[in-house]
Amino acid sequence: MSKERITLTMSELHKLDIIQRSLRGSISVSTTATLLSLTERQIYRLRDKVRHLGPPGIAHGNRGRSSPRKIPDRLRDRIIALRRTVYAKFNDTHFTEALAEEHHITLGRSTVRTILRNHGLGPKRVRRQPKHRSRRPRKQFAGDMIQFDGSHHDWLSGRGPKLCLIVAIDDATNYPWARFEPAETTNGYFRLIKDIIRNHGLFASAYTDKHSIFRIEHGRQPTLEEQLAGKLPKTQLQRSLIELGISLIYAHSPQAKGRVERIHQFFQDRLVAELDRANASSIAQATPVLNKVLGIYRRKFALAAPVAFKSFPDNADLDFYLCHKAARTVANDNCFSLNGRLYQLLPTSDRISWCKAKIEVHTLTNGLIRAVYQGQIIKTFKPQEAITPLSALRKVQLATIAPKVCISQPWVDQISTTCSYP
């Protein structure tokens, strides 16, 4: 009669050696239990098994036996056949549900998955491996890159209008700038960038998300003027930064611009508490509180780094760059239109008539409108200086002089009687 051969692992051989020393009386039962981290009752049980069965008694009794929960080979073959034929396009979960509903084979999804993988049947879709991501090192110089973002929050806790906090933070030094705006708009970013450039100088690059303020959405076709000029469509902020020599870098995820995202948490915690304490209910009341909190952050978290800001020329006008620009052709009556309103250009010492002139119209952040010709400012308008278009005047005149027909007119009664229907 052949005996089953059992192979012991290294840990089992070590346990067998200690048990045999205990059987020989070299060590006590309590010492054996301490060496094997077992109870004395377990040691007595192992001693009895080794005494009657020899070295194989140290192995677990179920070794070599089939599990009572083992799936029969016949059922396993049937599952494989069904997967390869009828359910070839089913994924693992779908196939498991089909087995239970159609064939009354109730198994767990992981069990079915194990059977399929052991027979070389892979998943319907191969999960893409995640990309390797590494931490971006901090910039070495202050002014090399500034991160921008807007935070929408109930900053005034219901005491006033909803505001947006537009924030910028230097990547190298953690030095922040911020200002409250009614909404996250291009003009709001223009005003914040003006504050940075006036106080520190020009920076090298801006790091932003893919908000429509910073880039043209996909699918937008270039205008006829852009096609003729061979230019790609740009937002007003893109165009302004290019004119200032500042490069624009887009983050592909919120985590990429983590520095400005984390400072939002600081403001939403501490700034809100300070605003509540000051009972601020407007931008005018909230701005001094914001400046106080900015000072606290700068003292606690700002770092020292070499400065790479470039000075902005004193004789240059920031409003010439940080504004909305639109191309216009002056009409025969020396007027140009903007947002449905007309503005009249008057003669100057350089030019009597501006008819057919190609000009640029600059709308500044304070609402003023500039007419610019070849880089020179022709005239600056206030919004209320627009003239009313002639078409609008005609509509007003027609509305005021249009006669009203009286119901009691004789010819009205005649029409009503002659135009009756059976």
76-93 tens-digit pLDDT: 999 999 999 999 889 999
Does the structure show a pLDDT above 90 at 380? Answer: yes
Q: Which two tokens stand for residue 2?
A: 């052949």
Q: Strand runs (DSSP E) across 6-64, as ranges?
A: none
Does the structure show a pLDDT above 90 at 371? Answer: yes
pLDDT of residue 418: 44
Q: What is the pLDDT of residues 6-18, one digit of tens each?
A: 778 888 889 899 9
Does the structure show a pLDDT above 60 at 412? Answer: no
Alpha-carbon span 281 to 278, nearest angstrom: 9
Quickly count: other Cβ atoms within 10 Å of residue 67's Cβ: 7
Q: Which of 28-37, 312-321, 395-404 has the lowest mean pLDDT?
A: 395-404
pLDDT of residue 421: 42
Q: What is the pLDDT of residues 172-211, one digit of tens each?
A: 999 999 999 999 999 999 999 999 999 999 999 999 988 8
Does the structure show a pLDDT above 80 at 74? Answer: yes
Angle, CA 260 vertex, CA 259 and CA 263 arms, to 5°: 90
Higher pLDDT, 369 or 411: 369
- Tell me the CB-side half-sphere exposure of residue 14, using CA atoms within 13 A: 6
Q: What is the pLDDT of residues 292-307, one digit of tens each?
A: 999 999 999 999 999 9
Q: Which of 93-107, 171-185, 226-240, 251-265 has the lowest mean pLDDT?
A: 226-240
| Structural element, H or E, at residue 151 | strand 146-153
Does the structure show a pLDDT above 70 at 345? Answer: yes
Q: What is the pLDDT of residues 268-294, one digit of tens each?
A: 999 999 999 999 999 999 999 999 999
Q: Which of 15-19, 69-73, 108-112 has the lowest mean pLDDT?
A: 69-73
Quickly count: other Cβ atoms within 10 Å of residue 189's Cβ: 27
Q: What is the mean pLDDT of residues 212-235?
A: 72
Higher pLDDT, 391 or 34: 34
DSSP-assigned letter for residue 363: E
Does the structure show a pLDDT above 90 at 99? Answer: yes
Percentage of residues in the chain having pLDDT higher than 90: 62
Q: Which amino acid, one-letter code, is at 15?
A: K
pLDDT of residue 329: 94
At residue 253 the predicted structure's pLDDT band, cuts being 50, 70 and 90, is confident
Does the structure show a pLDDT above 80 at 126? Answer: no
CA 304, distance to chain mean position in Å, is 29
At residue 417 the predicted structure's pLDDT band, cuts being 50, 70 and 90, is very low
pLDDT of residue 116: 93
